[in-house]
Amino acid sequence: MKKWALFAVIVVGALLLWAEGDIPPFGDPEAPAYNHVAPRYIEQGAEETGSVNLVTGILADYRGFDTLGETTVIFTAGIAVLLLLRRGGRL
């Protein structure tokens, strides 16, 4: 069993190292993430969302479902921590 686990770790590690070659360098302005959506958000965000704050407009309008999901995960984690602390008698 240990040999299979070691083999699996080595294979996954090799795949991660191989895939790392396709990631653009940190801060590269020509990275695909910066080429399509970000300029549109900056240029038309205030007009399309009606928000004075660009960050608020992006989070609330363009990425609303994503923000809702993140908030749900954080809320669920907080409830789990409270339940664990209460069960241990610390709260």
- What integer pLDDT is reported at residue 1 of this predicted model? 72
> What are the DSSP calls for the chain, one per residue?
-HHHHHHHHHHHHHHHHHHHTTSPPTT-TTSHHHHTHHHHHHHHHHHHH--SSHHHHIIIIITHHHHHHHHHHHHHHHHHHHHHHHHTT--
Residue type, 78: G
Q: How far, in Å, CA of 39 to CA of 59, rounded? A: 16
Tens digit of pLDDT for each residue in 14-72?
999 999 888 888 888 888 777 777 788 888 888 888 888 888 888 888 888 888 999 99
This prediction's pTM: 0.47
- What integer pLDDT is reported at residue 91 of this predicted model? 59
Contacts of 62 (CB under 8 A, 6+ apart): 41, 45, 49
Comparing 6 with 64, which gets the higher pLDDT? 6
